[in-house]
Amino acid sequence: MLLSNWTKIFFRRGHEGMQEMYLIFGLGNPGNRYRLTRHNIGFMVLEKLAAGLEIDVKQKSFNALWGKGKLRGKNVLLALPQTYMNLSGRAVRELLTFFKADINNLIVIHDDLDLPFGTVRLKTGGGNAGHKGLESIVENLGSSDFVRVRIGIGKPADKARIESYVLERFEPQEEAELKPVIQSAADATSEIILSDIERAMVKYHTKNISNLKKEDS
């Protein structure tokens, strides 16, 4: 069910008198079965960000695991929806509502079939390219005007394999290259909060898997 017009306006404007908070969601599926699959790279990046900020993502409510902390003095909330991918919007809506957060301060980290493996791209709004998690978030918020951190996972030559492809583990060579990709996506997310998305784009859109590997060596 879409939110009422009043609630959508509330999301856009935020809540006066409360200190600004950024809500960051990594998308994926809960459970060990999915932990290392392509669809769960959003979880992996969120967990890397949480480790770097020393935030325990252990609170269990609002259909998510979440935790609060600081990023150089800025309030952040990190969350992992526990509803499975195609219902991710429930957790996003419930946490935004409870913390009276501004949708402009919402950042969603997710896998992207349309980008080559290892590519990190940032954008605000736009379409969902068939991503069920993003579709659920837009449906629950009644708006697509939030920031996305897109992480390329590539796509199979056979489009009929897409559903199984995203639920498979990365290839061994890709797994060997994941560490700098995850770090880059986590750093880009922090840069959005500390600077703005335009500056983060300039800094991180120039990177590809080749120079990420050089930086990590």
Residue 213: what pLDDT? 53
Residue with tokens 């120039």: 206
**What is the predicted pLDDT for the residue at 210?**
54
Q: Please give the Cα distance from 36 to 57 (Å, whole number).
A: 18
| Residue 1 pLDDT | 44
Residue 187 to residue 189: CA distance in whole angstroms: 5
Q: Is 205 a catalytic residue?
A: no
- Domains of the chain from N-terminus onward: 20-216 (3.40.50.1470)
CA dihedral sign, ordered 124, 9, 100, 31 = negative
What pLDDT does 205 receive? 87
**39, 110, 131, 205: the active-site residue:** 39
Q: Which residues of the chain have pLDDT under 70?
A: 1-18, 206-217
